[in-house]
């Protein structure tokens, strides 16, 4: 059997290291090749200018991918929008599509970013990086017993490769304007969401699943960062979806 390839796509202004150990867990559990290409404006590319269109993000990330195609795309939040566009534009490259706590213009902005989260995001731009990472942790993670070990790493990432406010704004524009393609995708997607997501209303995942005629599974307690809150649950869904 050919070893499957997985591409992990992170969300708004979050670099690849925020996946933590999940890529290694995925590689081991599914005996897969795993790559996490970095988006311009984030991580090692933090000095590059972020795109303002999801389609341009797809083209940049495709240039970074070195593992065998077709690939399974796993997109978290804005990463889900990138994954959808990738599958729509380059169907021959995609073996599977998994969308985690994602959204689109199919829903109004107050569902795509909850009102309380809108205030938090605005305040975060005025905070120190350490304060901002602590706020994001509280906003996206419901499982918080690892704050003493996880947060120092997050703060280190933010200090080492800071995402500029202008790049945050450019990525936000790209996400806000994204429209899901009306044509059928090459594969039947899997849509996953945490019902206790304090950032994005789970209704957005339900809408996406209905529009894309996708499988939908909802975690009763997980938040926005589902790979952090319950990686075993997520891995079990990915294994079943990919036939592993």
Whole-prediction pTM value?
0.96
Total count of domains within the chain: 1
Domain span holding position 31: 5-242
pLDDT in tens, 135-185: 999 999 999 999 999 999 999 999 999 999 999 999 999 999 999 998 789
**Which H, E and C letters describe 70-87, residue by residue?**
CEEEEEECHHHHHHHHHH
What angle (nearest 5°) sits at the alpha carbon of residue 232, between those of residues 227 and 235?
Answer: 75
Average pLDDT, the chain: 95
Distance, CA of 38 to CA of 170 (rounded, Å): 16
Name, in order, each residue with C-beta under 8 angstroms of 145's C-beta and a sequence gap of 6 or more: none
pLDDT in tens, 228-242: 999 999 999 999 999
List the CATH number of the domain containing 25.
3.40.50.1820
**End-to-end Cα, the chain, rounded Å:** 11
**Which H, E and C letters describe 145-171, residue by residue?**
CCHHHHHHHHHHHHHHCCCCHHHHHHH
pLDDT in tens, 14-59: 999 999 999 999 999 999 999 999 999 999 999 999 999 999 999 9
- Rounded CA Rg of the chain: 16
């Amino acid at each position: 059997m050919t070893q499957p390839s997985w591409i992990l796509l992170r969300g708004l202004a979050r670099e690849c290291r925020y996946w933590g150990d999940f890529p290694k867990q995925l590689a081991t559990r599914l005996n897969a090749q795993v790559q996490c290409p970095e988006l311009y404006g984030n991580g090692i590319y933090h000095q590059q200018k972020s795109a303002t269109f999801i389609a341009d993000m797809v083209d940049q990330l495709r240039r970074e991918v070195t593992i065998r195609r077709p690939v399974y795309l796993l997109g978290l939040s804005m990463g889900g929008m990138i994954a959808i566009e990738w599958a729509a534009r380059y169907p021959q490259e995609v073996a599977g599509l998994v969308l985690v706590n994602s959204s689109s213009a199919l829903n109004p902005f107050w569902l795509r970013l909850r009102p309380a989260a809108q205030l938090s995001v605005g305040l975060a731009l005025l905070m120190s990086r350490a304060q901002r990472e602590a706020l994001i942790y509280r906003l996206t993670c419901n499982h918080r017993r690892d704050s003493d070990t996880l947060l120092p790493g997050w703060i280190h990432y933010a200090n080492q490769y800071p995402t500029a406010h202008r790049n945050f704004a450019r990525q936000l524009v790209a996400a806000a304007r994204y429209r899901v393609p009306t044509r059928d995708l090459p594969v039947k997607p899997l849509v996953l969401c945490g019902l206790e997501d304090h950032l994005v209303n789970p209704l957005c995942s339900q809408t996406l699943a209905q529009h894309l005629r996708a499988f939908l599974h909802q975690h009763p307690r997980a938040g926005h960062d589902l790979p952090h809150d319950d990686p075993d649950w997520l891995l079990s869904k990915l294994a079943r979806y990919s036939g592993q």
